Amino acid sequence: MRSVVLALLLCWGPAGIAAPAALRFSAVDSWAMPLAEFKENRLVGGIIHDLILSLAQRLDMPAQILVLPRNRVELALKQGEIDVRCYISPKWIANGEEYLWSVPFIRQRDLIVARQGSEGISGPDALSGQSIGTVLGYTYPRLQQQFERGAVQRDDARNQQLVLQKLLAGRYQYALSNELALAWFNRDLPDSDQLIGVATLDEEPVSCLVRNDPDLPAQRILHTLLQMKESGEIDEILARYR
């Protein structure tokens, strides 16, 4: 099920003159804070919410945000239902060369996470024989071959927060999480209960992609994102959630 959120301007002005066409963004319903906050299948807060609204405001265009399961986003993009997809790496998407890519605006650092007191591990290869907490629909390239061989078993949860909650409850010994989500999850936990990163799984710069469509102001979108990065505006957005 999907939900479209009109995030900025109404489609028609008071005089009945059509406003600029809305710029359509995607949000993945398995994201967790600080990346995204959802209410009733609407994106209402978090880093990506603030980034989208700031970008649309600078472009003077209304924004529509389509909230979708991760395994539905790529199809929606191919079918022209989405114009811009943020928080994505070329390594995470098939046929990435078909799209135009912005300057990276953050690095995602994926960690192998455990409860305090757990035995440390040397890296991904040490997970052999384990069932580990993962997010439904997420791809973990460093572990894909082990998943396919059955050497490591996925224990999927609907979003990143649920993965960490299950780890805290002892459902498995290890889970995978990005560093931002882990820090956010630990904020309100006593020091003795906070989860810890025991090894780095992967680290990747992430960007926004834009459909290569002549009807879109693609270069203006990319240039605006570059301006937001160079001016420090994106860093200010990130700082709100650290």
For the chain, domains (ranges, CATH) are 3-106+206-239 (3.40.190.10), 108-203 (3.40.190.10)
Contact 238, 47 (CB under 8 A): yes
**What pLDDT, on a 0 to 100 scale, did the predictor assign at position 71?**
85
pLDDT in tens, the chain (242 residues): 444 444 433 344 444 444 458 999 999 999 999 999 999 999 999 999 999 999 999 999 999 999 999 889 989 999 999 999 999 999 888 888 899 999 999 999 999 999 998 877 878 888 989 999 999 988 888 999 999 999 999 999 999 999 999 999 999 999 999 999 999 999 989 999 999 999 999 999 999 999 999 999 999 999 999 999 999 999 999 999 98
**What pLDDT, on a 0 to 100 scale, did the predictor assign at position 18?**
47
**The two structure tokens encoding residue 141:** 């390239």
**What pLDDT, on a 0 to 100 scale, did the predictor assign at position 20?**
59
Q: Is 62 helix (H, G, I), strand (E, B) or coil?
A: coil
**What pLDDT, on a 0 to 100 scale, did the predictor assign at position 119?**
73
CA 185 to chain centre: 16
**What pLDDT, on a 0 to 100 scale, did the predictor assign at position 92?**
86
Q: What's the whole-model pTM score?
A: 0.85
Contact 225, 105 (CB under 8 A): yes
In the block, which residue shows the tokens 């002549």?
Answer: 214
Residues with Cβ < 8 Å from 202, sequence gap 6 or more?
109, 110, 140, 141, 142
In whole angstroms, how far apart are CA 227 and each of 17, 55, 69, 135? Answer: 30, 10, 30, 33
Give the number of other Cβ atoms within 10 Å of residue 110's Cβ.
22
Residues with Cβ < 8 Å from 232, sequence gap 6 or more?
none
**What pLDDT, on a 0 to 100 scale, did the predictor assign at position 11?**
40
174-178 and 131-135 strand pairing: parallel
Q: What phi and psi values does residue 23 have, to the nearest 5 degrees?
A: -95, 125
